[in-house]
A and B are shown apart, each in its own frame.
Chain A
Amino acid sequence: MRYRVHHLTTYAYAEPVDLASHMLHLTPRPQPGQTVLSASLRATPQPSRVSGADDHFGNHATWMFLDLPHQRFEVAVEAVVEVAFPPPPPPASTPPWEQVAAGLRSGAAGSWQAAEFSFDSPLAPADRAAGLYARHSFPPGRPVLEGLLDLNARIRRDFSFRTDVTTVVTPVARVLAQRAGVCQDFTHVMVAGLRALGLSARYVSGYLRTRPPPGQEARRGADQSHAWVGAWLGPAHGWVDLDPTNNLVVRDEHVVLAWGRDYGDISPVRGVILGGGEHSVTVAVDLEPARAA
Chain B
Amino acid sequence: MNAPAPGVPGPDLPGIDEMVDGTGLLRTHWRSVLGTFTALGRAGMAERERRLDRAFVDEGITSVLPGSAGRPWRCDLVPLPLPAAEFAALEAGLAQRARLLAALLADIYGPQTVAAEGLLPPALVFANPGFLRPCRFAVQTPLLHSYAADLIRGPDGGWLVLADRTAATVGAGYARENRRLLSRVLPEAFRPVQMRQLKPFFDIWQDALRRLDPRGRPNPTVALLSPGTTSPQWFEDMFLARELSCALVEGGDLTVRGGTVFLKTLKGLQQVDVLLRRLDGRMIDPLELEAGSPLGVTGLMDAVRQGSVRMANDPGSGLAEAPALSAFLPALCRRLLGEELALPGVPTVWLGDEAARAEVLRPPSGWRVMPAMDSRVAPVSPPALTPAARAELMARIDARPWEWAASRLVSPSVAPCLESQSLAPRPMVMRLFLVHDGRNWRAMPGGLARVKDEAEWLTGRAPPVGISKDVWVLAEEGSDLVGPPAPPVPALRLRRTAGDLPSRVADNLFWLGRYVERLDRAARLGRASLQRLVRTATLLPHELMELEVLAACLIEARLIPSEGVVVTGGAVTGLGEALLRSVQENGKVTRTFADVARLTENVRDRLTGEMYATFTATLRAARGDAAAAGRSLDGLTHGMVAINRFATAVAGVAAENMVRGGGWLFLDLGRRLERAWAVAGEVAIALDQPSARIEAGLRLVLELCDSAITYRTRYFDVLQPAPVLDLVLADQGNPRGLGFQLAQMHTLLDELGGEGGAREMLAGTAAGLLAEAEIIVEAVLAAPNQAVAAAALPPRLKALAAGVAALSDHITRRYFALLPAAQTLGWSAEAAPALRGAA
Contact = CB atoms under 8 A, between A and B. Distances in A.
Are A and B interaction partners? yes
Interface of A: 11, 18-19, 21-23, 48-49, 51, 53-57, 63, 65, 67, 104-109, 111-113, 115-116, 119-120, 167-170, 264-265, 267-276, 279, 281
B133 A265 contact: yes
A150 B507 CA distance: 63
Interface string B125-143: 1110000011011100000
A116 B826 contact: no
B829 interface: yes
A273 B825 contact: yes
Interface residues of B, number: 45
B287 to A, nearest CB: 5
Given A18-B820, A279-B825, 8 more contacts: A21-B298, A107-B121, A116-B122, A119-B127, A272-B287, A272-B835, A272-B838, A279-B823
A267 to B, nearest CB: 5
Nearest to A126: B400
A113 B819 CA distance: 43
Interface of B: 112, 115-116, 118, 120-123, 125-127, 133-134, 136-138, 256-259, 286-288, 298-299, 302, 305-306, 352, 402, 819-830, 835, 838-839
Contacts of B127: 119-120
Contact of B839 (A11, A49, A170, A274): A274
A108 B823 contact: no
What 10 pairs across the A-B complex have the smallest Cβ distances? Answer: A167-B829, A115-B122, A56-B136, A116-B126, A271-B825, A56-B133, A112-B116, A119-B127, A49-B258, A272-B298
B825 A272 contact: yes
Given A112-B115, A119-B123, A119-B127, A65 B257 contact: yes
A65 B839 contact: no
A57 B136 CA distance: 9
B352 A113 contact: no
Nearest to B127: A119
Nearest to A119: B127
B826 A169 contact: no
B302 A169 contact: no
B820 A51 contact: no
Given A116-B122, A274-B820, A19 B839 contact: yes
Nearest to A24: B826
A223 B123 CA distance: 38
A166 to B, nearest CB: 9
B287 A55 contact: no
Contact of B822 (A11, A268, A273): A273
Contacts of A265: 133
A51 to B, nearest CB: 6
A53 B352 CA distance: 34
Contacts of A63: 299, 302
B829 A169 contact: yes
A19 B287 CA distance: 13
A169 to B, nearest CB: 5
Q: Which of A51, A115, A168, A170 has the most CB of B within 10 A?
A: A115
22 contacts: A19-B257, A21-B298, A51-B305, A55-B136, A56-B133, A56-B136, A65-B256, A65-B299, A65-B302, A67-B257, A112-B112, A112-B122, A113-B122, A115-B122, A116-B122, A119-B123, A169-B828, A270-B827, A271-B826, A272-B824, A274-B821, A274-B822
A106 B828 CA distance: 35
Contact of B830 (A49, A119, A169, A276): A169
Given A272-B286, A274-B839, A55 B824 contact: no
A65 B258 contact: yes
A56 B829 contact: no
B58 to A, nearest CB: 42
Contacts of A51: 259, 302, 305-306
B118 A107 contact: yes
A264 B827 contact: yes
Contacts of A49: 258-259
Nearest to A11: B825
Nearest to B829: A167
Given A19-B839, A269-B825, A269-B826, A115 B133 contact: no
B826 A21 contact: no
A272 B134 contact: no
Given A51-B306, A65-B299, A267 B826 contact: yes
A48 B136 CA distance: 25
A273 B291 CA distance: 12
A112 B821 CA distance: 43
B328 to A, nearest CB: 11
Contacts of A112: 112, 115-116, 118, 122
A279 B256 CA distance: 23
A258 to B, nearest CB: 13
Contacts of B829: 167-170
Contacts of B136: 55-56
Given A11-B825, A270-B826, A274-B819, A115 B123 contact: yes
B826 A56 contact: no
Contact of B827 (A53, A107, A108, A168): A168
Contact of A55 (B115, B134, B402, B838): B134
Contact of A275 (B259, B820, B825, B826): B820
Given A54-B137, A112-B118, A23 B288 contact: yes
A261 B485 CA distance: 48
A111 B122 CA distance: 9
Given A23-B288, A54-B137, A107-B118, A272 B839 contact: yes
A104 B838 CA distance: 41
B636 to A, nearest CB: 47
Contact of A270 (B125, B138, B824): B824
Given A19-B839, A56-B136, A65-B258, A268 B826 contact: yes
A167 B830 CA distance: 9
A212 to B, nearest CB: 29
B822 A272 contact: yes
Nearest to B112: A113
A106 B121 CA distance: 7
A21 B824 contact: no
Contacts of A275: 820
Contacts of A55: 133-134, 136-137
Contacts of B826: 168, 267-271, 281
A273 B823 CA distance: 5
A21 B287 contact: yes
Contacts of A19: 257, 839
B839 A115 contact: no
Nearest to B120: A107
A120 to B, nearest CB: 7
A15 B380 CA distance: 54
A66 to B, nearest CB: 10
Nearest to A104: B122
Nearest to B259: A49
B310 to A, nearest CB: 17
A82 to B, nearest CB: 27
Contact of B256 (A21, A105, A268, A269): A21
A16 B819 CA distance: 13
A63 B305 CA distance: 11
Nearest to B836: A274
Contacts of A115: 122-123, 126
Contact of A272 (B126, B352, B402, B823): B823
A108 B138 CA distance: 27
A109 B118 contact: yes
Contacts of A276: 823
Among B115, B126, B133, B829, residue most surrounded by chain A Cβ atoms (within 10 Å) = B126
Contacts of A107: 116, 118, 120-123
Contacts of B298: 21, 272
Contacts of A274: 819-822, 839
A109 B258 CA distance: 42
Contacts of A116: 122, 125-126
A170 B839 CA distance: 28
A104 to B, nearest CB: 8
